[in-house]
Structures are given as structure tokens and as C-alpha cells.
Amino acid sequence: MGYPPAVVFGGLTNALSVVRGLGEIGVEVHAVGPEYSPVRASRYCRGFTVVSGEDPQRQLLSWLRSQAPAGAVLIPCDDDSLELLARRRTELCGIGLRPARANDEALVDMLDKERTYEIARACGVGAPRTVLLRAQADLDRAVAEISMPCALKPVHIHEFARHFRRKVFRIQSEAELRAAYVRTSQLGLAMLVTEIVPGPEETYWSYYTYVDEHARKLVDFTKQKMRQYPVGFGGATYHLARWSPAAAEAGRRFVDAAGVRGIACVEFKLDARDQQLKIMECNARVTAADALVRAAGLNLGELAYRDAAGLPVAPQDGFREGVRLWYPVQDALAFTAMRRSGDLTLWSWLRSLSHRQRFPIFSVADPLPSVLGLLRLPGRVRARIGRTSETTSSPDAALS
């Protein structure tokens, strides 16, 4: 039996990792995503279609109806494509396409941060204190119950991302919170106020698995986020593949309670107050650390592909601990910020890097995405610094 083609949607470094993993086993891979995606330069990408604008789901659906390769397996790598597949699965299957396996009800729950926290609390997994903002009374309750500083977080991150370059706003005062609520309400965005779980950057842990149709977990993998940028609420700049029994136990319990099928990545932070893991989010797709997962010996993208294509799937036992994934430019920015605040010294930073490093984009076997990345480097640095300004300046300014 030959391999059917695959279409990888959205995402950036995570989509590149999936494309490489499938291309290496001989799958004809097509990709759809933003113009600046490194995937478009990969030797493993047979064709690339640009999707951008305010309504990416409509564009994706139009492309799938008219241009998708016949019989293609569909693998989402961002939340817009994830939601589209969940809501249009019947139609897509009806035109001969093969969406990645998922429990669509659970998938929609995972896109809703408040629902994620509700499921966690119900099954005994730690969660931060939150207040969902539906009316002015909720805002008043948040001011009374959640201490400052706190965070104003979107219920649906992919909808928030169409307006802002940040995942969350750090709030320093009641006045900032009220101003930010007015602005996000005007945009029709559902928001929640959440406490900031205390603890250093290296206390973020993630559990990854793949759940088949019989609820078997075919993968058990955990990793540690060593640093992120912007500090406190940013994207990871340094990952370490490392086993955590506590993260695995909490992750399994949450995945079972949520009824997730297919890929699941559950992120936690260890609360310095009670030493309990508190859930941050659950992504029902590959994440930005997928290159780390593959380097550690596991291939979630291939599992998703084989399962959707009707090919045999089997448990992937164990992984290589100690594998690291480093984002040099972003991590240099994280180091600069942490050194300024006294949380990291130059010697400690250099010592943490004295290991063999893997990189999210660079590959000797597939070099052109790195070239594209270098061409975009000045703009990416400016954007990262801009995100820090959004996080640390008043939401009044950031939201204007």
C-alpha cells in the first residue's frame, strides 16, 4: 500500500517538524500557512499555499474543497485549523479527505481555556484561580478575588491573536485591568482573569501523548521548559527532554477526564506555594517543541498520519532523556531580561548551554528553512522586543 499525501496546516516550527518527519518516510507533503512560514522552503514540502488575513478558516475550507490533494491526510498545527477540522470533519470526510483523529467535542473544549480549567478541577488536577469575564459584575469579583499582579487571558487564544501579538496581558493594577477589559470587550473577545502561579521559569513541565481509538496511550513523554521570552508569559526558548512522573500522572489523568483522542500536550507549572502542578493549557496538536520530541525518538506527526490513513499504529516506548532544543536569538533575549532582573547570571546561562544542542529550524539535511529564517531575523527580533513592551507597558497603550 502506498502512502497517501498529507496536508499540514498552519504553524511555524511545529509544522516544519511534522513536514520533515513525514517527508523522511516518503510521504508527499503539502502545506498551507502564513507567508513567512519556514515550511515553504523545506525540501520535503511538495507545495505551499499562503493563507493570511482575518478569516483563515474560511480560506482553509475553500482550499480544501477545491485544491486539496485527493485522499490527503489533514494534520493541523495551529488552533484555527484545529477548530476547522473539529467543526467540519463530516464534510471533509465526505469529500474523501482524512482529518487527523480527534474527539471533536474534547478538541473544542481544549480550545476553550476556561473549560480546560473546569475539567482539570473536576478530575483533581491543579489549576490556577480564574474568573471568567462575562459582565461588569465578574470584573468586580475578579478585582476582589485575584490579587495583583494578575493576567488577563483570552478564552480562545487564536481569536485573540488576530488582534494582538501576545498570548496574555500582565496586569499590574485595577485600573489597567478595567481598561483592558473595555478594549477586549469592544472586540468581542471572551477573556478571563487568572492568578499568576509563582515559580521560576524552569518549573514549567509538559506531558505529551497520543491516544488511539481504544483510549490507549501510545506515547509517554515529558519535557521541561528551561526559559521563555518574554519572561513569564512567552514562547519557550530552551527545552529539555526529561522524565517527570508527577507531570505524567497529572497529564494522563487530565487527558482521560477530557476524553482527548489523537495528540495531546498538557502544560503545567509547579506552584512554589504548595509544590503542586497547575495546568496552564492543553494543546490537541503538535506544539513548537515537536522537533525536541522527534529528536528524543518519538514521532507524533507520523502517529497522527498513520492513524488517519488507516495504517497500523503501535506504542512508542521510552525516549532519550537529556535532549535539548535551543532557540539562540530568543534565548539571548531571555537571558538579557533575566540577567537584568537578577534571575540568571552569565555563568549560569553559559553552563546551561554546555551540551549538544538541537535547533527548531536548522538542519543539515534540510538547510533552506534556516536561510529563510536568517533573512527574517531582524524583523523577528523587533517583534519579540515589541511583545515585551506590550507585556510590561500598560494595557491602555498596548491595546490602543
The CATH number of the domain holding residue 133 is: 3.30.1490.20
232 and 362 assigned to the same domain: yes
* Cβ atoms < 10 Å from Cβ of 316: 17
Report the distance separating Cα 168 and Cα 111, nearest Å.
15
For 129-261, list the strands marked E by DSSP.
Answer: 130-133, 150-154, 169-171, 191-195, 204-211, 221-229, 235-241
> Dihedral angle at the C-alpha atoms of 129, 133, 136, 140, nearest 10 degrees?
10
> Is 399 part of any domain?
no
163, 178, 196 — which closes off a domain?
A: 196
* Residues 36 and 139 grouped into a single domain: no
Beta strand spans in the chain (E): 6-9, 29-33, 45-50, 73-76, 98-99, 130-133, 150-154, 169-171, 191-195, 204-211, 221-229, 235-241, 262-270, 277-283, 324-326
Residue 86 shares a structural domain with residue 144: no
CB-based contact 5:44 (threshold 8 Å) = no
Q: Are residues 259 and 324 part of one domain?
A: yes
Confidence at residue 1, expressed as pLDDT on a 0 to 100 scale: 52
Under 8 Å between Cβ of 146 and 131: yes
Taking alpha carbons only, the member of 248, 286, 288 closest to residue 268 is 248
Q: In the prediction, which pLDDT does 381 show?
A: 52
> Residue type for 58, please?
R
On whether residue 378 sits in a domain, the answer given is: no
Q: Any idea what DSSP says for residue 134? A: S
* Whether residue 205 is found in the same domain as residue 192: no
Q: Are residues 191 and 333 in the same domain?
A: no
**Distances 392 to 81, 153, 196, 261 between C-alpha atoms, Å:** 31, 15, 15, 38
CA atoms of 287 and 208, how far apart (whole Å)? 10
Q: Is residue 347 part of a domain?
A: yes
CA-to-CA separations, 350 to 86, 114, 155, 232, 321, in angstroms, rounded: 44, 39, 37, 21, 20
| Domain total of the chain | 3
- Same domain flag for 205 and 191: no
Same domain for 21 and 60? Answer: yes
At 150, list the grid cell. 494578575
- Each residue's pLDDT tens digit in the chain (400 positions)? 589 999 999 989 999 999 999 999 999 999 999 998 999 999 999 999 999 777 899 999 999 999 999 999 999 999 999 999 999 999 999 999 999 999 999 999 999 999 999 999 999 999 999 999 998 899 999 999 999 999 999 999 888 888 887 888 999 999 999 999 999 999 999 999 999 999 999 999 999 999 999 999 999 999 999 999 999 888 999 999 999 999 999 999 999 999 999 999 999 999 999 999 999 999 999 999 999 999 999 999 999 999 999 999 999 989 999 999 999 999 999 999 999 999 999 999 999 999 999 999 999 999 999 988 787 665 555 555 554 554 444 444 444 3
pLDDT for 379: 57
In the prediction, which pLDDT does 243 show? 98
Omega before 5 cis (within 30°)?
Answer: no
Burial of 259 (0-12, 13-18, 19+ CB in 10 A): middle
Specify whether 30 is located in the same domain as 48. yes
Among the candidates 99, 123, 152, a domain finishes at 99
Residue 380's pLDDT is what? Answer: 54
Could you tell me the pTM of the whole model?
Answer: 0.92
The answer as to whether 396 is a domain residue is no
207 and 173, same structural domain? no
CB atoms within 10 A of CB 291: 25
Q: Same domain for 150 and 11?
A: no
Report pLDDT for 392.
Answer: 43
CATH of the domain at 222: 3.30.470.20
Domain boundary among 139, 163, 196: 196
Asked if residue 17 belongs to a domain, the reply is yes
Look up the CATH number of the domain holding residue 21. 3.40.50.20
Whether 228 maps to a domain, the answer reads yes
Domain coverage including residue 289? 201-366
**Sign of CA pseudo-dihedral 127, 155, 299, 240:** negative
Nearest by Cα to 101 from 309, 288, 246, 282: 309
Cα–Cα distance measured from residue 303 to residue 306, given in angstroms and rounded to the nearest whole number? 5
pLDDT score of 2: 81
Q: Is residue 375 part of a domain?
A: no
Residue 372 lies in a domain: no
Whether residue 157 is found in the same domain as residue 280: no
Residues 6+ apart with CB under 8 A from 155: 112, 113, 114, 132, 189, 190, 191, 192
CB 362 within 8 A of CB 372: no
Residue 281 bridge partners (DSSP): 267
